[in-house]
Structure 1
Amino acid sequence: MALPLIAIAASLVPDLLRLIAGDRAGAVAEAAAEAVRQAAGTDEPAKARAALEADPERMGALRIRLAEIALEGARVSAEREAGQRAAELDALRAALSDTQSARASMAEMLRGGSRLAWGPATVSSLVVIGFFAVLILLVTMPGGTGSLDPQVASVINITVGSLGAAFAAVVNFWIGSSQSSRDKDAIVGRLQEVQARHVQEAMTTLRETAPVPLRPVSVLSLPRVAEDRFDACLDEVLKAEGGFVNHPADPGGATKMGITRRTLSEFRETEVTDEDVRALTRAEAREIYRARYWTPMRCAELPAGIDLMVFDFGVNAGPGRSVRLLQRCAGVAADGSIGPVTLAAVRACRAPDLIARLAEGRLSYYRGLEGFAHFGRGWTRRVDGARQAALAMASEAPPLSLAA
């Protein structure tokens, strides 16, 4: 099993992780890894990730394939769980039916005057008397069972265990069987309700993981358009971030083009100095922004203008917070992960309205921060600048078509 390739698949369709964890046969994991392998054309995780990030069209096709795999895995899992619950329900019904049949047979023999009808009552009486007699004997025995020979004590323990099981069976036969059929039906009904609820949850999962119908786009122009939009959004972000700063009130410390010392260290996988931050090039900053913000937040799949609002806030306050704000503004569950449901909800919104809601939500977040008194004016200007640029992008976005 190619675990690194599965990690790439899970980053594109997070619901795969839950399905892979519950798939003992490993079919979902194998299918996901094979889909990544075919899309990227390599087994090496680093090369596969680079190939996908460099080709948005290929990444989009892979995401659709992974969503199909997740859909099929969820369907199989739901069917398997439904079968298990049905088997448990049948077993319970059979047990209740057996008990009811035994009681009905005894009643029939009583009506016919058969002496065999007294058999269950006689056996039950002997079991109850024997159980309590042994119990009283053990309680009143001087010194308890500790003073007895080990073999005798072992026999007594076995006897008590057997009588206990027999006593439980007697109680279940007489008291359990004397319950009305309405009570039994209620038990079965509750199990059916649980089964129906689980099936409904499974169907919800299927709907959540289903791929969103894609709008018709130009296959030839998609990669270039995505790159142009990324560069346009990055230009707006860099206008707000500026050059090298090392403000003592900024917890991020040394920063250049919005890239903090910690972020640069994580990207290079080695500790860096303030001077390393000062020497950061635009080309490296561009790759950092793509890898840490643009791609994880799936900005290339968002409508023009919305991509800038999500991207800029993610850079300033974190990708998770930006995605959750987008989901709240679009009216879907704010789980911090953009999937088919979020994309469909965003595309159903009017871009100017959604941009306005994102701007207001971002300002509300800033107003709740302790540093608003010091940085509030700059944050407000940044939000207003991003809003105006986003509205311009949304109004200038060309309609997508099949033409190249």
Structure 2
Amino acid sequence: MQSNRDPVLKFTEQREGGYSCRRDDDGNWTGGRRGRGRLVGSMRGISAPEMVCWTGLSPDLVTVEMMRSITPDLYRRIATAHYWNPLWCDHLPAGVDLMMFDYGFNAGVHGALSVLASIYGSLDRTDVMTEQLLSRVLTVPEIVLSRMIAGDLAREMQRSLHVDADGVIGPVTLAAISEKQLENLLTIYALGCAQERAYRQMRGWVANGTGWLGRLHQRVEIAAEWAVAAVRPDA
């Protein structure tokens, strides 16, 4: 399957931005919790604990200078090793790869796989991707996914298909999906709805919820564009 790694990683890097050193952000502390270890910040979304893991150094040896020196190339290497590869993004359809990677970078590999597994009522392991879970992603019946899509994202998908945007994914919407061979849109929007629910349950929702939802809707929009382009290259 064609890899979208470069544009996916670029999207996430742009959304994460540069250096940040908020005291209330667990990821800025080398111990992974506010007040634990040293406050050294994060860079391009690479957290202090992640840098500890990447370098193999003691948390006391990871410094602000080290964090500030994370280059685009180092970001790509860490992001590929810690997120892209564990999530098997090379094996995912266009658009689905963005949905999984960007959310995983934001919420962790376990968080991304837990949300993915929840769509299928799966009891698979959620610390690593499995062949069983991947096969479900690629073959799950449309009617199962349609039940997972509701609210604003359902209406957004219907508008893109030029059907009545009533928020109910029924026979008319599914017929439009089938006619245009855009079955992967169902996975993208089902993931979007599931990821939104997960965001709302996170500890940082009050402080970060608006930004998380803005990022979610942007990645759904771009993921959907990629899914359409994969079917209609000239679209």
| Deviation string, structure 1 residues 52-99 (Cα, Å, up to 9, x no partner) | xxxxxxxxxxxxxxxxxxxxxxxxxxxxxxxxxxxxxxxxxxxxxxxx
Q: Which residue of 2 aligns with 1:259?
A: 46
1:368 to 186, 195, 201: 201
**CA displacement at 1:260 relative to structure 2:** 0.9
Shift of 1:251: 1.2
Deviation, structure 1 residue 331 = 4.4
Answer whether contact 1:331 1:345 (CA < 8 A) is retained.
no
Residue 23 of structure 2: aligned partner: 248
Contact 2:89–2:97 under 8 Å retained in 1: yes
Specify the alignment match of 2:131 in structure 1: 340
- CA 1:365–1:355 in 2, change beyond 3 Å: closer, same or farther? same
Looking at structure 1, the residues matched to 79 and 123 of structure 2 have their Cα atoms a distance apart, in angstroms, of 26
1:275 corresponds to which of 65, 84, 87: 65
Partner of 1:357: 190
Paired residue secondary structure (1:252): helix
Please list, as runs of the form range in 1=range in 2, the aligned pairs for 1:68-79 lying within 5 A after superposition. none
For residue 326 of structure 1, give the secondary structure of its aligned residue in structure 2: helix
2:227 aligns with: 394
Q: Deviations along 1:258-284, whole A, 9 cap, x unmatched?
A: 001221121111232111111110001
Structure 1 residues 338 and 370: alpha-carbon distance in aligned structure 2, compared to 1, 3 A threshold? closer
Structure with the bigger RCO (C-alpha within 8 Å, sep 6+) is 2
Whole-angstrom distance in 1 between the partners of 2:202 and 2:79: 24
* Alpha carbons 1:265, 1:272 under 8 Å: kept: yes
Q: Distance in 2 between matches of 1:323 and 1:370?
A: 19
Q: CA RMSD of the aligned region, Å? A: 1.9
Question: How far apart in 1 are the matches of 2:97 and 2:117?
Answer: 13
Q: Is the contact made by 2:18 and 2:44 (CA closer than 8 Å) also made in structure 1?
A: yes
Q: Tell me, what secondary structure is at the counterpart of 2:27?
A: coil
TM-score (norm 2): 0.70
Deviation at 1:293, TM superposition (A): 0.5
User: Quick one: which amino acid aligns to residue 374 of structure 1?
Assistant: A
Structure 1 runs of 4+ off > 6 angstroms? none
The C-alpha deviation readout for 1:211-268, integer Å capped at 9, x for no partner, is xxxxxxxxxxx6xx42xx1011101111211111111221111111100122112111
- Tell me, which stretches of 5 or more residues in structure 1 are unaligned? 1-221, 400-404
Distance 1:331 1:396 in 2: 30
Q: Structure 1 residue 323: deviation in Å? A: 1.0
TM-superposed CA distance for 1:398, in Å, is 5.3
The one-letter code of the counterpart of 1:273 is T
**What is the identity, as a one-letter code, of the residue corresponding to 2:103?**
F
The answer to whether the 8 A contact 2:42-2:67 is kept is: yes
Between the aligned partners of 1:289 and 1:280, the Cα distance in structure 2 is 12
Aligned twin of 1:383: 216
Is 1:300–2:90 an aligned residue pair? yes
How high is the sequence identity, in percent, across the aligned residues? 29
1:319 maps onto 2:98 in alignment? no
Q: Answer whether contact 2:124 2:133 (CA < 8 A) is retained.
A: no
Aligned partners of 1:389, 1:334: CA distance in 2, in Å?
Answer: 28
Counterparts of 1:280 and 1:299 in 2: how far apart (Å)?
Answer: 23
Q: Which amino acid aligns with 1:266?
A: C
Q: CA deviation at 1:320?
A: 1.2
1:196-219 per-residue CA deviation (whole Å, 9 max, x = no partner) reads: xxxxxxxxxxxxxxxxxxxxxxxx
What is the rounded CA distance, in whole Å, between the counterparts of 1:398 and 1:283 in structure 2?
A: 31
Aligned mates of 1:343, 1:287 — CA distance in 2: 24
SS of the equivalent of 1:303 reads coil
Q: Distance in 2 between matches of 1:317 and 1:373?
A: 16
Larger Rg: 1
